[in-house]
Amino acid sequence: MTQQIINDLTIQAATVNGSGSQTANLVLTRAIFRMGIPVAPKNVFPSNIEGLPTWYQLRVTPEGHMARSDKVDILIAFNPATWHQDLKTVRPGGVVIHEEVFSNADVRSDVTYYPVPFAKLAKAKIQNDTLRKQLANMIYVGVVAGVLGIPLEALEHGVKRQFNSKPKAVQVNLDAIKVGHDYWQDNFSKKDPYRLEPMTGKVEGKVLVDGNQAAALGALMGGVTVAAWYPITPSSSVCENLIAYSERFRTDPKTGEKLISIVQAEDELAAVGMAIGAGWAGARAMTSTSGPGISLMAEFVGLAYYAEVPVVIFDIQRIGPSTGLPTRTSQADVAFAFNLSHGDTRHIVLLPGTVEECYEFARDTFDYADRFQTPVFMLSDLDLGMNLWMTPEFKYPDKPFDRGKVLSKADLERLAGEWGRYRDVDGDGVTYRTLPGTDHPAAGYFTRGSGHDEFARYTESAEVYERNMDRLARKLETARHSLPAPLVDESAGASTGVIAFGSTHAAVVEAREALAAAGKPVDYLRLRALPLSDELAAFVSRHERVYVVEQNRDGQVYDLVRLALPPNLVDRVRSIRHYNGQPIPAAAITEPLMSTEAVPA
Amino acid sequence: MSATLNHVGLPRDAYKGAATTLCAGCGHNSITNHMIKALYELGIEPHRLAKMSGIGCSSKTPAYFVESAHGFNGVHGRMPSLTTGAQLANRQLIMLGVSGDGDTASIGLGQFLHMIRRNVDCTYIIEDNGTYGLTKGQFSATADLGSVQKKGAVNTFQPIDPCAVALTLGCSFVARSFSGDGKQVVPLIKAAIAHRGTAILDIISPCVTFNDHDGSTKSYSWVKDHEESIADVSFIPFFEEVHVDYEPGTIRDVELHDGSHIVLKKLGEDHDPTDRRAAMRVIEEGRAAGHLVTGLLYLDTTMDDFVTTEHIPQRPLRDLGESELRPTPEQFSQLMSEFA
């Protein structure tokens, strides 16, 4: 036997959508995590309810690499429709666990096969007729456990965690796992090099959370009280999780009274309209959507920008244009969101790069919206939002809400009613507002998306218009200095730098390790918000060449970076783009950087 | 001479707004005056009023009454969603939406329907002139089949009747009136405000500039007694007035959510405003006869409004703080342990 490969492998389960395989995959994930081994699952699923092929990649590394791997070590082939294609993805020396009846035509000779009669076993061994189809997936969990040596205790934990410790469900699933495990023991001897062994030091204090769950929790902690949404993949689970948290933490169990309203709107126009109406009336309000929804919201976002209404918009990006690939990931809404709506508009865009930041930014984004009285975008993506990520536990907030410049009745009395809704008294571009319902005769004003002066009165005056637009620019400049600063790591002391943001972070972390090991270390600046920070130019000025890595075709942030740089630095910037809908692997960064001049600019 | 004060101690002038910028004689200006009268007489506290609108001539009018109240002139056809959100944020606000027929029957038809579906507590006034005034006179979707534009074009499409649409959706308050009929409009506005739920009040409001000519079915002379300029619109006031004192026998007494009563005086055939099918029939019969039936067509005071179905507290959501909105550190840490 060749040398053992321990805790460093990628499992790919090729199954049929809607067959219950996701549950089996999650049990496997949680069982391995229970062994103390870092896991990085990626679910590649179709835009379909039942019948189309789906893949679940479970990457396991002792280092805790979180990016997608582009190599498959262990294939679980459960789908006859993709069997021949799936077989080609396995690396030489890999393992193929497959349904026994699959055709032998064109099989490879450089992999190890463990054929299992899954269908026969399910028929013979699983008594539960209604659940047989779902439980058949659990049989492969048992086989994988046999091949890799996953202990029973870890499997039990995975099953209990998945079925919320419902004893009946736990037992039937464990029984199905045992069917697979027994079959492995009775019929095979170990012929491959892969093994899992319990380890310590990497997962302690860590949890598995997806970014949408994290964002929903962040919104809850940030004090959202009105959320309006329209279902769309991959953002639906933001509000679905928020509903679940609200039932648990915001609902009086006796009266049913809820300290939040979450409305499923008739479309994205109404969703953002409700959020803006609520933000105007003083609630912390949000909507959550994906690219097509952002397109529909464009008009309303311009109103909120110009009329200066706080509102939070979650965009869980997927591949476009148009319907695109609805279940594949992308970072191609950045430029659009940044300038969303007609006329001169520009918005605060937060760019979380980890699920922990999905939580923290979601929580803090309500402060930014209130402080700067403007729409704030939280730009996550399908990879971050819908996949589970290993993360440190989230921290309980240590700050109260920042509700921004709001004048109360007492404030208006103190000012003897002398105020103007759009008067810049502090010189920071941020003006004072009153909320509807404030019991003072001077409180009311007329909010509008048409031209207005400092006192919110209609005007078409050229001078007043320009002055107002300049103030809005000044306001965004104030905000720019308050947003999450880029994280800079220059520990490599290298002449080459990498700039990235969002879910690309995981691939950059891994690529930097590989490049350092190959003697080509790179420094790193991770953007966390738009408009861009001054840190950016400083970072570029300290490096001879800087690569902007992003998951879109046109290099949208590459363009923004070059626009923000002084002319003498522009030439230093190069672009690396990945845009096939699959989460970017580290190789997409290491390969062009290993052969520097091969990079298209 | 001291002005007469209403029961919250305010003179009528406190309900006025900025000077109108609409055309002289515009039906919308009459509605604005009816609004001022209704709000003054009801004694609505200005700070509790939220004036909401979309885009168009009608949507400018919230600037022309109760200047000290908050108002929000939003985007075209989207008044309902802004209103829904604002009410969720602060259910103590009295939501008064003003919209036009372009807003309601075209670009914002979806939001109109869904606001009714949710029964959001809002007075929804449609200032309905069958035309796009600000863009110089194109037909709107409420223009009748065969009506003629000022430049001679003939409308070839069936109209959308907002009242009929509202009725089919089970809207809890459906009424129609005419901008020139203050005697009917003012009590209907009051009743709509008192009603808890979506109150649709379709007010035919002639456009003096683009839709006040022979051939238009929504025209009228601002000298109302010029019979020929009323064209082919006939008005049958279904209930001459809505009173608070009433005479037994020929009246219908309806108690509203706020405890007030409206008393509907019947003229002509008997109409039961709690009978939705009867309301549909009356509209259809009116249409067949070339009449526009006005009055309170339908009322259902039993339906829960949106904030009730949403189970939110009486206290405005916007006033809640960290201690009410954040789970405790113990609950948070329990949740974290469940992620492990």
Q: What is the pLDDT of residue A420?
A: 97
| Test the B interface: residue of A230, A241, A261, A409 with most B CBs within 10 Å | A261
- B320 at A interface, C-beta within 8 A: yes
Q: In chain B, which residues have their Cβ closer than 8 Å to the Cβ of A393?
A: 336, 339
Question: How far is Cα A237 from Cα A180, in angstroms, rounded to an integer?
Answer: 32
Residue B334: HSE in the Cβ half-sphere, 13 Å Cα cutoff: 8
Please give, rounded to a whole number of angstroms, the shortest distance from the CA of A218 to a CA of chain B.
Answer: 10
| Test the A interface: residue of B82, B311, B324 with most A CBs within 10 Å | B82
User: pLDDT tens digit string along A303-358?
Assistant: 999 999 999 999 999 999 999 999 999 999 999 999 999 999 999 999 999 999 99
**Chain A residue at shortest CA distance from B64:** A446
Q: Please tell me whether residue A203 adopts helix, strand or coil conformation.
A: coil
Average pLDDT over residues A362-384: 98
**A71 C-beta neighbours (distance < 10 Å), count:** 14
Please give, rounded to a whole number of angstroms, the shortest distance from the CA of B118 to a CA of chain A.
Answer: 10
Please give, rounded to a whole number of angstroms, the shortest distance from the CA of A255 to a CA of chain B.
Answer: 9
Question: How far is Cα B331 from Cα A215, in angstroms, rounded to an integer?
Answer: 17
Give yes or no for a contact between A117 and A99, defined as CB atoms under 8 angstroms apart.
Answer: yes
Q: In chain B, which residues have their Cβ closer than 8 Å to the Cβ of A208?
A: 339-340
Tell me which residue of A115, A130, A127 sits closest to A180, measured CA to CA: A115
Contact (CB<8Å) A443/B320: no
**A461 C-beta neighbours (distance < 10 Å), count:** 12
Question: How far is Cα A85 from Cα A42, in angstroms, rounded to an integer?
Answer: 19
Average pLDDT over residues A435-452: 97
Q: What is the pLDDT of residue B216?
A: 66
Contact (CB<8Å) A270/B114: yes
**Chain B residue at shortest CA distance from A248:** B327
Please provide the average confidence, as pLDDT, over all residues in chain A. Answer: 96
Contact (CB<8Å) B85/A446: no
Give yes or no for a contact between B79 and B53, defined as CB atoms under 8 angstroms apart.
Answer: yes
**Which of 34-53 (B) contact A at CB < 8 A?**
45-48, 50-52
The percent of residues in chain A predicted with pLDDT above 70, rounded, is 99
Question: How far is Cα B191 from Cα A282, in angstroms, rounded to an integer?
Answer: 28
Q: What is the pLDDT of residue A599?
A: 42
Give yes or no for a contact between A357 and A483, defined as CB atoms under 8 angstroms apart.
Answer: no
Average pLDDT over residues A546-575: 98
Q: In chain A, which residues have their Cβ closer than 8 Å to the Cβ of B305?
A: none
Q: Using CB atoms, which residue from B75, B87, B339 is nearest to A209?
A: B339
Backbone angles phi, psi at A550, to 5 degrees: -155, 165
Task: Look at chain A and count its residues.
Answer: 601
Residue A210 has pLDDT above 60, yes or no: yes
Report if residue B3 sits inside a domain. no
Contact (CB<8Å) B74/A303: yes
Question: Cis (ω within 30 of 0) for the bond into A321?
Answer: yes
- Strands, E, within A256-360: which ranges? 261-264, 285-289, 311-319, 325-329, 348-350
Structure tokens at A508: 């950059």
| Test the B interface: residue of A340, A345, A396, A459 with most B CBs within 10 Å | A396
Question: How far is Cα A299 from Cα A318, in angstroms, rounded to an integer?
Answer: 21
Q: Using CB atoms, which residue from B110, B326, B332 is nearest to A266?
A: B110
- Strands, E, within chain B: which ranges? 49-53, 70-73, 94-100, 122-128, 131-132, 138-139, 173-178, 198-204, 234-237, 239-243, 251-255, 261-266, 291-299
Tell me which residue of B193, B187, B180, B208 sits closest to B66, measured CA to CA: B193
**Chain B residue at shortest CA distance from A282:** B318
Q: What is the pLDDT of residue B223?
A: 29
Tell me which residue of A315, A313, A317 sits closest to A286, measured CA to CA: A313
Question: How far is Cα B193 from Cα B94, in angstroms, rounded to an integer?
Answer: 8
Tell me which residue of A377, A373, A365, A437 sits closest to A408, measured CA to CA: A437
Give yes or no for a contact between A434 and A406, defined as CB atoms under 8 angstroms apart.
Answer: yes
Contact (CB<8Å) B318/A283: yes
Q: In chain A, which residues have their Cβ closer than 8 Å to the Cβ of B71?
A: 444-447
- B339 at A interface, C-beta within 8 A: yes
DSSP A499-543: EEETTHHHHHHHHHHHHHHTT---EEEEE-EESPPTHHHHHHHT-
Average pLDDT over residues A56-66: 97
Please give, rounded to a whole number of angstroms, the shortest distance from the CA of B136 to a CA of chain A.
Answer: 19
Question: How far is Cα B244 from Cα A269, in angstroms, rounded to an integer?
Answer: 41
Per DSSP, B12 falls in state: G
Q: In chain A, which residues have their Cβ closer than 8 Å to the Cβ of B339?
A: 207-209, 393
Question: How far is Cα A482 from Cα A170, in angstroms, rounded to an integer?
Answer: 49
Tell me which residue of A4, A21, A108 sits closest to A58, measured CA to CA: A21
* Count: domains in chain B: 1
Q: Using CB atoms, which residue from B68, B74, B317 is nearest to A225?
A: B317
Q: In chain A, which residues have their Cβ closer than 8 Å to the Cβ of B86?
A: 277-278, 280-281, 436
Question: How far is Cα A351 from Cα B284, in angstroms, rounded to an integer?
Answer: 56
Q: In chain B, which residues have their Cβ closer than 8 Å to the Cβ of A281?
A: 50, 85-87, 89-90, 93, 318
Q: Using CB atoms, which residue from B68, B81, B83 is nearest to A441?
A: B68
pLDDT band at A430 (very low <50, low <70, confident <90, very high): very high
Q: In chain A, which residues have their Cβ closer than 8 Å to the Cβ of B16?
A: none
> β-pairing, A446-448 with A375-381?
unpaired
Residues whose CB is less than 8 angstroms from the CB of residue B23 and which lie 6 or more positions away in sequence, other chains included: B133, B207, B208, B209
Q: Using CB atoms, which residue from A257, A273, A303 is nearest to B85?
A: A273
Residue B212: alpha-carbon gap to chain centroid: 23
Please give, rounded to a whole number of angstroms, the shortest distance from the CA of B154 to a CA of chain A.
Answer: 32
Question: How far is Cα A270 from Cα A272, in angstroms, rounded to an integer?
Answer: 6
Give yes or no for a contact between A197 and A6, defined as CB atoms under 8 angstroms apart.
Answer: yes
Taking CA A386 as the corner, what is the angle to CA A381 and CA A388, rounded to the nearest 5 degrees?
120
Which residues of chain B have a pLDDT value below 70? 1-2, 211-270
Tell me which residue of A420, A426, A432, A433 sits closest to A464, measured CA to CA: A420
**B10 C-beta neighbours (distance < 10 Å), count:** 20
User: pLDDT tens digit string along A87-111?
Assistant: 999 999 999 999 999 988 778 999 9
What's the predicted TM-score (pTM) here?
0.94
Give yes or no for a contact between A12 and A72, defined as CB atoms under 8 angstroms apart.
Answer: yes
Task: Look at chain B and count its residues.
Answer: 340
Which residue range(s) make up the domain with B310? 12-339
Structure tokens at A564: 């923000």
Lowest mean pLDDT among A116-130, A585-599, B314-328: A585-599
Contact (CB<8Å) A226/B88: yes
Report if residue B4 sits inside a domain. no
Backbone angles phi, psi at A229, to 5 degrees: -150, 165
**Chain A residue at shortest CA distance from B316:** A283
Give yes or no for a contact between A287 and A311, defined as CB atoms under 8 angstroms apart.
Answer: yes
Torsion of CA A532, A534, A538, A544, to 10 degrees: 20
Question: How far is Cα A462 from Cα A194, in angstroms, rounded to an integer?
Answer: 72
Structure tokens at B146: 């065969």
Domains along the sequence of chain A with CATH = 5-204 (3.40.920.10), 209-392 (3.40.50.970), 405-466 (no CATH), 487-598 (3.40.50.920)
> β-pairing, A90-99 with A112-116?
parallel
Residue B139, beta-bridge partner list: B131
- B110 at A interface, C-beta within 8 A: yes
Q: What is the pLDDT of residue B258?
A: 52
**A105 C-beta neighbours (distance < 10 Å), count:** 7
Please give, rounded to a whole number of angstroms, the shortest distance from the CA of A57 to a CA of chain B.
Answer: 20
Backbone angles phi, psi at A288, to 5 degrees: -140, 135
Q: Please tell me whether residue A339 adopts helix, strand or coil conformation.
A: coil
Q: What is the pLDDT of residue B214?
A: 62
Residue A259: HSE in the Cβ half-sphere, 13 Å Cα cutoff: 21
Tell me which residue of A136, A162, A171, A600 sits closest to A388, measured CA to CA: A162
Q: Please tell me whether residue A277 adopts helix, strand or coil conformation.
A: helix
Tell me which residue of B114, B89, B108 sits closest to A230, measured CA to CA: B114
User: pLDDT tens digit string along A257-285?
Assistant: 999 999 999 999 999 999 999 999 999 99
Report if residue B309 sits inside a domain. yes
Residue A69: HSE in the Cβ half-sphere, 13 Å Cα cutoff: 23
Q: Using CB atoms, which residue from A277, A281, A449 is nearest to B81?
A: A277
Please give, rounded to a whole number of angstroms, the shortest distance from the CA of B82 to a CA of chain A.
Answer: 4
Question: How far is Cα B260 from Cα B43, in angstroms, rounded to an integer?
Answer: 13
| Test the B interface: residue of A266, A363, A399, A403 with most B CBs within 10 Å | A266
At B65, which CATH number? Answer: 3.40.50.970
Tell me which residue of A23, A594, A102, A68 sits closest to A381, measured CA to CA: A68
Residue A126: alpha-carbon gap to chain centroid: 38
| Test the A interface: residue of B70, B115, B116 with most A CBs within 10 Å | B70
Question: How far is Cα A33 from Cα A22, in angstroms, rounded to an integer?
Answer: 16
Q: Using CB atoms, which residue from B80, B311, B318 is nearest to A435?
A: B318
CA distances from B246 to B241, B242, B251, B264, B271 (A): 10, 9, 7, 8, 17
Residues whose CB is less than 8 angstroms from the CB of residue A74 and which lie 6 or more positions away in sequence, other chains included: A9, A10, A11, A12, A90, A94, A95, A96, A97, A144, A147, A148, A194
